Structure 1
Amino acid sequence: MDKQMNERYDLFIEQYKEKEGITERLKAKDQIRWAEKMNTIQNRVEEIICDRMICHFFS
């Protein structure tokens, strides 16, 4: 299950990065803004994964 959750985590991160236009170009241009956006995405994805794990555990 850990492998599956890690794969989903990586997939969700990439999807949100694409959706929100977070690119290497942004990282090079404005590292602080890039880091803020990445932290927001990581927190959101971690919450989604945890919610799914809890739902799976109780189902």
Structure 2
Amino acid sequence: MEKDTNPVSVLARTQLHCEKDLSINSIAELSGFPDIANFNRKFKELKGISPSQHRSQF
């Protein structure tokens, strides 16, 4: 699967973080990232916080 690093797509997927039954690893995989490190890096670049920090806000 080709990863989509379009900022709008990445930010739209932040809604998945409200789904507590999906792991961040699963979200990264569903988003097309080859590994969680790449997903975390891009997420933090766009949102200013890590995916786990974002999730803890909900």
The answer to whether the superposition gives a TM-score over 0.5 is no
TM-score w.r.t. the length of structure 1 is 0.32
Decide which structure has the larger Cα Rg and report it. 1
More helix by share: 1
TM-score w.r.t. the length of structure 2 is 0.32
